[in-house]
C-alpha cells in the first residue's frame, strides 16, 4: 500500500521540524500529529505542533507556525500534495489537500482491490499473535455472550491480519474441574429418571433440557454403561460437537482447541506450582497453598491449592498461558466476559513468578485482555427472559435464526438465505458497540429492511453501487483511465476523504483492539455514499464525468466489500 496523504504530510512536517530544530540548536522535535478539523471549512487536516512546542522553543506559536509553513513549502512534492495552508487562531495550521492528492485514493483502491488498506505480511514489529476467544465450558450450548465473544474475536483476528500479523485463533476447553463433574452428575441423574424439581435432584446439577437430550442419546449409544467417567466423556464430546456446529453456522473457525485436562495429564499444573514454590512466591496457611499476588498489585493474596487438595481455577490458567509463551506467542489477546476481570491480576502474577524461575522476559501486562459486557436480547418489544435456575438462555443458534427470520415452512434454499441474513445481522450488531459497554440486541431491528438497521444500511450501499455498475455495463479498464480531476463537488469531496481514512481505521482498530471502530466507519462510508448518490447524478450524458463518478463508486464498493469481509459479514450484490 502506498503512503497515505496524511502520512506523506507527516513526513514533510517532521523533516521541516527537524530542520528548524537543528538551525536553532534545539533538541529533536516530537512527531507531529494531524487531526481532522471539526468544521469542513477549516480544511482537510490540521496540526497544532506549533502550540505544543512554543513554550519549549521560546517562540510565539504563530511565529513558529509561520516558520514551519515556510520550511514546509520548500519540501519536494509539497505543492502537489497541498493546495493551500493557513495559520488560524493562536497557531493552528490548517491544510487543504490538492484535488489530485484527494482523488489519487480512487486509483489506489482500484489497483489494490481486495488488498487495499492492508500491510504486507511481516510489515509490523509483531509478526504473530494469538487470540483466544469463546472458550466456553463444554457444559451447555453457546449462549449470546459467547456469540459476542465469537464476533469480537473473529473480527479482531481479521483486523490484525490486515496489519501483516499472522494470527492464531485458539479455543480453550475447560474440560476439567467441578463444572464438568456437575455435568456428568446431571446426566447421570437424568439417566435415573430424575428431573429438576424432584426431591432427590442434585442441588448442583444443570437444569436445562439439553441435559435430558444428552442422557437420551447416551442411553441409545452402543457404548452405554452406567459409569460416571463414561458419562463425563460422552457428555463433553456431545456438547463440544454441538458447540462446533454453532460456531460453523456462525462462520467462525479455530486453528487449535486446547484442553484444560491436558495441563494435568502432562504435568504442567504440577510443574507450575513447583516453580512458584521454589522461588518463595507461595506460602501455606489454613491448610491451603497461597500465591503472593499482592506483590504484583492484587488487592489480596489468592488460594492456589485448597485444603482438599484441588486447585483453584486460575492455576491451570497460569499453566495454559505458560504454554502460550513457550509456543512462541509473545503477543496474546484474550477475549472474555467482564466477569473474568478478577482473574487478570492472578494470572499475570503467576506468570511473573514462572518468568522469574525460568529466566524469561514476560511483560507484566502479558496477556492483553478485551473484556465484554453482557447482552440483553429484545424481541417483539420485550426483553427475552432467561433463567439460570431453569437452565434456559438465548443461544447463538436462536439469535441467528431469529435475526434471519427463519421459519419451519422455508425450503432449504430459503432457509440458507435466512441464516445468512441472520449471521450478518448478529455479527455486525455484536461488533457495533465497544466491548466494555452493555448491549441491547433488538431482534425486531435486525429484521427491518430499512435505513434504521445498520447492517442493512451498509449492505444496501454495496448492492446499490453494484446495481449502478451493472446498469452501466462497461469495462474496468475504462474506470482505471477515468479523469478523476472532474470529481470536484462537495459530496464527492466528502466521499473521497472517507475512503482515504480506511487504512488508518484498520491500523487504529488493530492498535486499540477495537473492532467496533470499523463498524462505525462502514456506517459513515455508507452514509457518505448515499449523500453523494442523492446529490450527484452518476449516469450522466457527459462521458468523462460519468466515468469519473463511476470510478469513485467502484472504489467505494471495494472498500465496503473489504470492510465487511473483515467483520465476517457478506456483501450482497442484490437486496
Residue 110: inside a domain, yes or no?
no
Non-local (6+) Cβ contacts of 225 within 8 A are: none
Mean pLDDT estimate for the chain: 93
Rounded CA-CA distance 442/93 in Å is: 45
Number of domains in the chain: 4
pLDDT of 37 higher than 60: yes
pLDDT in tens, 483-537: 999 999 999 999 999 999 999 999 999 999 999 999 999 999 999 999 999 999 9
- pLDDT greater than 80 at residue 448: yes
Residue 21 has pLDDT above 90, yes or no: no
- What is the distance between the alpha carbons of residues 39 and 317, in angstroms, rounded to a whole number? 50
Per-residue cell: 393: 438462555
Same domain for 287 and 249? yes
- If one compares 89 and 131, the residue with the highest pLDDT of the two is 131
333 and 224 belong to one structural domain: yes
Residue 388 confidence (pLDDT): 52
In a domain, residue 114? The reply is no
**In this structure, are 163 and 282 located in the same domain?**
yes
CATH number at residue 507: 1.10.730.10
Specify if 115 maps to a domain.
no
Residue located via cell numbers 522553543: 57
Tell me how far apart the alpha carbons of residues 143 and 70 are, in angstroms, rounded to a whole number.
Answer: 61
Per 3-state DSSP, what percentage of the chain is helix, strand, and coil (rounded to 5)? 55, 15, 35
* Residues 462, 442 share a domain: no
Question: Which pLDDT value is given to residue 390?
Answer: 53
Question: Largest Cα–Cα distance of the chain, in whole Å?
Answer: 89
Which 3 state secondary structure label does DSSP give 45?
Answer: strand
pLDDT digits (tens, 9 = 90+) for 331-372: 999 999 999 998 999 999 999 999 999 999 999 999 999 999
Q: Is residue 102 part of a domain?
A: no
* Residue 573 located in a structural domain: no
Among residues of the chain, what percentage have pLDDT more than 70? 98
pLDDT over 80 at 120, yes or no = no
Q: Indicate the residue among 313, 346, 371 that finishes a domain.
A: 371
Mean of the pLDDT values across residues 247-268? Answer: 94
Same structural domain, 264 and 347: yes
Q: What's residue 323's pLDDT?
A: 98
Is residue 237 a contact partner of residue 314, using CB atoms and an 8 Å limit?
no
**The pLDDT of residue 41:** 78
What is the distance of C-alpha 285 from the center of its chain? Answer: 42
Mean local confidence (pLDDT), 411-435: 96
pLDDT of residue 391: 58
What's the pLDDT at 112? 95
Same domain, 422 and 351: no
- Give the number of other CB atoms < 10 A from CB of residue 485: 11
With pLDDT > 90 as the criterion, what percentage of the chain qualifies?
Answer: 81
Interatomic CA distance for residues 445 and 379, integer angstroms: 9
Between helices 228-249 and 396-404, what is the axis angle to 10°?
30
Let me know whether 477 and 417 are in one domain: no
410 and 356 in one domain? no
Examine the fold and report which residue of 371, 393, 420 is the final residue of a domain before the chain moves on: 371
Residues 135 and 89 in one domain: no
Cα end-to-end distance, the chain, whole Å: 32
Q: Which domain holds residue 362?
A: 128-371
The answer as to whether 560 is a domain residue is yes
Verify that 437 and 502 share a domain, yes or no.
no
Last residue of a domain, one of 352, 371, 390: 371
Residue 32 lies in a domain: yes
User: What are the backbone dihedrals phi and psi of residue 413, each rounded to the nearest 5 degrees, phi first?
Assistant: -65, -45
128-132 and 166-173 as β-strands: parallel, antiparallel, unpaired?
parallel
Residues 22-46 have a mean pLDDT of: 82
- Section 261-280 average pLDDT: 97
Taking the C-alpha atoms of residue 109 and residue 107, their distance in angstroms, rounded to an integer, is 5
Q: Is the pLDDT of residue 389 over 70?
A: no
* pLDDT tier for residue 458 given thresholds of 50, 70 and 90: very high
For residue 486, the Cα-to-chain-centroid distance in whole angstroms is 38
pLDDT of residue 201: 95
Give which of 282, 265, 284, 286 is closest to 273, Cα–Cα.
Answer: 282
Q: 524: which 3 cell numbers?
A: 459513515
**Dist. CA 305–CA 315, nearest whole Å:** 8
Same domain, 141 and 62: no
The reply to whether 380 and 327 lie within a common domain is no
DSSP letter at 119?
Answer: P
Who has greater pLDDT, 361 or 40?
361
The verdict on residue 75 lying in a domain is yes
CATH code of the domain in which 196 resides: 3.40.50.620
pLDDT digits (tens, 9 = 90+) for 209-245: 899 999 999 999 877 777 899 999 999 999 999 999 9
Give the pLDDT confidence score for residue 28 in this predicted structure: 75
CATH of the domain at 89: 3.30.1360.70
pLDDT reported for residue 1: 45
Amino acid at each position: 500500500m502506498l503512503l497515505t496523504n496524511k502520512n506523506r504530510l507527516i513526513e514533510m512536517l517532521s523533516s521541516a521540524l527537524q530542520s528548524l530544530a537543528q538551525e536553532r540548536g534545539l533538541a529533536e522535535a516530537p512527531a507531529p500529529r494531524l487531526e481532522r478539523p471539526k468544521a469542513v471549512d477549516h480544511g482537510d487536516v490540521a496540526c497544532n505542533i506549533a502550540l505544543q512546542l512554543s513554550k519549549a522553543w521560546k517562540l510565539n506559536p504563530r511565529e513558529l507556525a509561520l516558520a514551519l509553513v515556510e520550511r514546509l513549502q520548500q519540501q519536494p512534492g509539497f505543492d502537489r500534495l497541498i493546495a493551500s495552508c493557513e495559520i488560524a487562531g493562536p497557531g493552528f495550521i490548517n491544510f487543504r489537500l490538492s484535488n489530485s492528492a484527494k482523488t489519487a485514493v480512487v486509483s489506489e483502491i482500484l489497483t489494490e482491490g481486495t488488498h487495499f488498506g492492508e500491510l504486507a505480511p511481516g510489515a509490523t514489529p509483531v509478526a504473530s499473535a494469538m487470540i483466544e476467544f469463546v472458550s466456553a465450558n463444554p457444559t451447555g450450548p453457546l449462549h449470546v455472550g459467547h456469540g459476542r465473544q465469537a464476533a469480537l474475536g473473529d473480527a479482531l483476528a481479521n483486523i490484525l491480519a490486515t496489519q501483516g500479523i499472522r494470527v492464531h485463533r485458539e479455543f480453550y476447553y475447560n474440560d476439567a474441574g467441578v463444572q464438568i463433574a456437575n455435568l456428568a452428575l446431571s446426566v447421570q441423574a437424568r439417566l435415573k429418571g430424575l428431573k429438576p424439581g424432584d426431591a432427590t435432584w442434585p442441588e448442583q446439577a444443570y437444569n436445562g433440557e439439553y441435559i435430558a437430550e444428552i442422557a437420551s442419546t447416551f442411553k441409545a449409544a452402543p457404548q452405554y454403561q452406567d459409569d460416571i467417567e463414561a458419562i463425563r466423556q460422552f457428555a463433553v464430546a456431545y456438547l463440544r460437537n454441538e458447540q462446533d456446529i454453532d460456531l460453523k453456522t456462525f462462520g467462525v473457525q479455530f486453528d487449535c482447541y486446547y484442553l484444560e485436562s491436558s495441563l494435568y495429564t502432562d504435568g504442567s499444573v504440577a510443574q507450575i506450582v513447583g516453580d512458584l514454590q521454589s522461588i518463595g512466591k507461595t506460602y501455606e496457611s489454613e491448610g491451603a497453598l497461597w500465591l503472593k499476588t499482592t506483590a504484583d498489585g492484587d488487592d489480596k493474596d489468592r488460594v492456589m491449592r485448597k485444603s482438599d487438595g484441588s486447585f483453584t481455577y486460575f492455576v491451570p490458567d497460569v499453566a495454559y498461558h505458560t504454554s502460550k509463551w513457550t509456543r512462541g506467542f509473545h503477543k496474546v489477546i484474550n477475549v472474555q466476559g467482564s466477569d473474568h476481570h478478577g482473574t487478570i491480576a492472578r494470572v499475570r502474577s503467576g506468570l511473573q513468578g514462572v518468568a522469574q524461575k525460568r529466566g524469561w522476559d514476560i511483560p507484566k501486562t502479558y496477556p492483553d485482555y478485551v473484556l465484554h459486557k453482557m447482552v440483553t436480547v429484545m424481541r417483539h418489544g420485550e426483553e427475552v427472559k432467561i433463567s439460570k435456575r431453569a437452565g434456559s438462555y438465548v443461544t447463538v443458534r436462536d439469535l441467528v435464526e431469529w435475526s434471519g427470520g427463519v421459519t419451519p415452512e422455508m425450503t432449504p434454499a430459503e432457509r440458507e438465505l435466512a441464516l445468512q441474513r441472520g449471521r450478518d445481522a448478529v455479527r455486525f450488531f455484536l461488533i457495533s458497540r465497544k466491548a466494555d459497554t452493555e448491549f441491547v440486541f433488538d431482534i425486531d431491528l435486525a429484521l427491518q429492511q430499512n435505513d434504521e438497521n445498520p447492517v442493512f444500511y451498509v449492505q444496501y450501499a454495496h448492492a446499490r453501487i453494484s446495481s449502478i455498475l451493472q446498469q452501466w455495463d462497461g469495462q474496468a479498464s475504462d474506470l482505471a483511465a477515468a479523469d478523476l480531476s472532474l470529481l470536484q463537488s462537495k459530496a464527492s469531496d466528502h466521499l473521497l476523504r472517507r475512503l482515504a481514512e480506511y487504512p488508518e481505521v484498520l491500523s487504529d482498530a488493530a492498535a486499540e483492539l477495537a473492532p467496533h471502530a470499523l463498524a462505525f466507519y462502514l456506517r459513515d462510508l455508507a452514509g457518505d455514499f448515499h449523500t453523494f448518490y442523492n446529490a450527484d447524478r452518476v449516469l450522466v450524458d457527459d462521458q468523462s464525468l460519468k466515468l469519473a463518478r463511476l470510478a469513485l463508486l467502484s472504489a467505494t464498493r471495494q472498500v465496503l466489500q473489504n470492510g465487511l469481509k473483515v467483520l465476517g459479514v457478506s456483501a450482497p450484490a442484490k437486496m
